[in-house]
Amino acid sequence: MQAPSLGGVQVPRGNGSTVIRLRHGSSLNDFADKIDANPASLVTVLFHLGEMATATQSLDEDTFGTLATELGYVVEMVSAEEEDRELLGAFDIDLDAELEGEGDEDLFPRPPVVTVMGHVDHGKTKLLDAIRSTDVVAGEAGGITQHIGAYQVRTEHEGQDRAITFIDTPGHEAFTAMRARGAQVTDIAILVVAADDGVMPQTIEALNHAQAANVPIVVAVNKVDKEGANPAKIRQQLTEYNLVAEEYGGDTMFVDVSAKQRMGIDELLEAVLLTADAALDLRANPDKDARGVAIEANLDKGRGAVATVLVQSGTLHVGDAIVAGTAHGRVRAMFDEHGANVTEAGPARPVLVLGLASVPSAGDTFLVAPDERTARQIAEKREAAERAALLAKRRKRISLEDFTQALQQGKVETLNLVLKGDVSGAVEALEDALLKIDVGDEVDLRVIHRGVGAITQNDVNLATVDNAIIIGFNVKYAERVEDLAEREGVDVRFYSVIYQAIDDVEAALKGMLKPEYEEVQLGSAEVREVFRSSKFGNIAGSIVRSGEIRRNTKARVLRNGAVIGDNLTVESLKRFKDDATEVREGFECGIGLGSYNDVTVGDIIETWEMREKPRS
């Protein structure tokens, strides 16, 4: 159906619910393609809607939304995951169909993957160490384990030899980072709570993250060796968060442990396996090309790109062509957490992989491709897609400068900040000062995360999720984080003077507040005589009665107390024959009001301007 549109151009219209699916990073050209329109006419329509864009520029979802609503369409942005699925589809790789096609006979039990979370100093690292040391295999290998980002332990459970995989980065940061990238790695979370300290802010944060991801929790009540330890209190406290101990009739397993004395570790592993068996159906098909997630990666001087991957299904072999995120290559060698060479790795097995041409990011999914060429092409296509999405995102995320606009459009009412500093004193001082900024009730300032040290991937991930701005005081980016911030379009600002940071935030917050204007009277003049000028129209020969008359200010004309002309401008101002910028009370002048010529002797010319009302 063709109908006249904004700007008089012809654009095929939808019926109000016609769905247009667009990828992130799409341009008006792509939109035009979908509705069979001329891109130039969309540029025109958008222009009439108050947005300027070229046909090839990447636009964000909101802009497409505005345009689509006008034309009777509904825009659906294709998610990054869907987009990747389509991309893989072009190479005949269909992961969903693959999963659906797997019957009971293809699926074999696999070990659970566990992340240890909890408040700082409650013993997460110590607990991971204690668990590692229980491993019989590690014992045989001389007890030396290397940090590769994850490890597997074996334990005897109900007469069976069972394995459990642990993510070797304690805390919910890694967990959130993975989730921010769409990867769900963890099957079970161990929530560590120190029995001498109780439930603390990060305890709650951690359990929120786990519950949001639908990951069952096993509670490790740690430090029970300490005087003042009160394990019963922990059970009591956690009931408030829907974690009710089995002995209280709930379904969460609580295990008392001492990471330091390595007590209760076997019971904890037992609880993990019991929870896994009761709540989850952990099975995978080992007999296919491997699929999984990169957990850690870095560039090693001697060995090149080194990545620890967790195989989630299938089996990874030396020699396989793989693609992890935008990195690709052929598996040259694999090592386990004991540094031993391995030739294959099945489901839930973490291995260190050599042979990628570049370094993937933690949380990137990996898969084995039919051949190296395909792996490279997938990687290249992904990189192109990421670049396009980046271009669109750059316009979208919040920066201190564009806060005002976002607020006025009702898109934000809270300025979320992540604070990082070189020492905790500085971070606290900064936070204190920032929270003292008085901005009234219309906007909120929230510090969603604070910490000491370089700006990390976690900081950027948090900022991405909560649309926050990162403030770094005397710190820098951690390795490779700048790229991530750039990619995600997060505004990161660095300061070395606290007041500078406060000033900037205050300015943004004040800017965020819609400015209030008031009319301020500047002066008034009485018209004594009217001169005709061919060049300037009528000139009102006047005497300034109060204040001053200034050129280029707003003016109105009053006759017998009534306004007869308003919103005029003092376009010319003369003192005798000379141009003047201002003429003060008691002096005579010639005032020209542009094309407004209806002034007569006795009229009063008032001048005024709009001033932003200062905030108290």
Measured from the CB atom, the residue of 18 and 237 that comes closer to ligand GDP is: 237
- Smallest distance from the beta carbon of 226 to ligand GDP, in angstroms? 5
- Smallest distance from the beta carbon of 82 to ligand GDP, in angstroms? 38
Single-letter amino acid, residue 323: V
Distance between CA atoms of residues 386 and 351, nearest Å:
27
- Smallest distance from the beta carbon of 476 to ligand GDP, in angstroms? 24
> Is residue 53 a contact partner of residue 40, using CB atoms and an 8 Å limit?
no
- Does residue number 368 form part of the binding site for ligand GDP (CB under 6 A)? no
- Smallest distance from the beta carbon of 453 to ligand GDP, in angstroms? 14
Measured from the CB atom, the residue of 102 and 129 that comes closer to ligand GDP is: 129
Measured from the CB atom, the residue of 123 and 216 that comes closer to ligand GDP is: 123
Residue 550's nearest CA partner among 530, 532, 524, 577 is: 524
Q: Which residue number places its CB atom closest to ligand GDP?
A: 123
Distance between CA atoms of residues 279 and 458, nearest Å:
29
- Does residue number 571 form part of the binding site for ligand GDP (CB under 6 A)? no
Work out which of 97, 120, 384, 563 binds ligand GDP, going by CB under 6 A. Answer: 120
Measured from the CB atom, the residue of 122 and 235 that comes closer to ligand GDP is: 122
Residue 397's nearest CA partner among 388, 406, 386, 407 is: 406
SS3 content of the chain, % helix, strand, coil (to 5): 30, 35, 35
Only one residue has tokens 């329109």, namely 37
- Does residue number 124 form part of the binding site for ligand GDP (CB under 6 A)? yes
Q: Is 363 left (phi over 0), alpha (psi -120 to 50) or beta?
A: left
- Smallest distance from the beta carbon of 170 to ligand GDP, in angstroms? 5
- Smallest distance from the beta carbon of 268 to ligand GDP, in angstroms? 12
In the region spanning residues 143 to 202, those forming contacts with ligand GDP, defined by CB under 6 A, are: 170
**Beta strands across the sheet bearing 492-495:** 444-452, 414-421, 469-473, 492-495
- Does residue number 258 form part of the binding site for ligand GDP (CB under 6 A)? yes
- Smallest distance from the beta carbon of 424 to ligand GDP, in angstroms? 15
Measured from the CB atom, the residue of 121 and 431 that comes closer to ligand GDP is: 121
- Does residue number 349 form part of the binding site for ligand GDP (CB under 6 A)? no
Measured from the CB atom, the residue of 196 and 585 that comes closer to ligand GDP is: 196
# chain residues binding ligand GDP, by CB under 6 A: 16
Measured from the CB atom, the residue of 120 and 520 that comes closer to ligand GDP is: 120
What are the structure tokens assigned to 213, written together?
């991801």
Distance between CA atoms of residues 454 and 175, nearest Å:
19
Distance between CA atoms of residues 582 and 269, nearest Å:
85
> Is residue 414 a contact partner of residue 446, using CB atoms and an 8 Å limit?
yes
- Does residue number 125 form part of the binding site for ligand GDP (CB under 6 A)? yes
The SS3 assignment for 66 reads helix
Please provide residue 592's backbone torsions phi and psi, each rounded to the nearest 5 degrees: -110, 125
Cα–Cα separations (whole angstroms), residue 87 to 47, 70, 246, 263, 514: 33, 31, 46, 50, 44
Work out which of 33, 70, 121, 383 binds ligand GDP, going by CB under 6 A. Answer: 121
> Is residue 475 a contact partner of residue 494, using CB atoms and an 8 Å limit?
yes
> Using CA of residue 569, residue 572, residue 575, residue 580, what is the dihedral sign?
positive
Which residues does 200 contact at the CB level (< 8 Å), separation at least 6?
119, 122, 193
The SS3 assignment for 62 reads helix
Measured from the CB atom, the residue of 128 and 306 that comes closer to ligand GDP is: 128
- Does residue number 262 form part of the binding site for ligand GDP (CB under 6 A)? no
- Does residue number 225 form part of the binding site for ligand GDP (CB under 6 A)? yes
Measured from the CB atom, the residue of 193 and 555 that comes closer to ligand GDP is: 193
- Smallest distance from the beta carbon of 121 to ligand GDP, in angstroms? 4
In the region spanning residues 539 to 568, those forming contacts with ligand GDP, defined by CB under 6 A, are: none
Measured from the CB atom, the residue of 123 and 421 that comes closer to ligand GDP is: 123
Quote the radius of gyration of the chain (alpha carbons, Å): 34
Question: Which segments of 74-181 does DSSP mark as H helices, in order?
Answer: 80-89, 95-100, 124-134, 136-140, 172-180
- Smallest distance from the beta carbon of 130 to ligand GDP, in angstroms? 8
- Does residue number 260 form part of the binding site for ligand GDP (CB under 6 A)? yes
Measured from the CB atom, the residue of 48 and 260 that comes closer to ligand GDP is: 260
- Does residue number 330 form part of the binding site for ligand GDP (CB under 6 A)? no
* Span of 132-140, 178-186, 217-225, 472-480 interacting with ligand GDP by CB under 6 A: 217-225
Work out which of 223, 328, 420, 449 binds ligand GDP, going by CB under 6 A. Answer: 223
Measured from the CB atom, the residue of 78 and 204 that comes closer to ligand GDP is: 204
> Which residue ranges make up the site for ligand GDP (CB under 6 A)?
118, 120-126, 170, 222-223, 225-226, 258-260
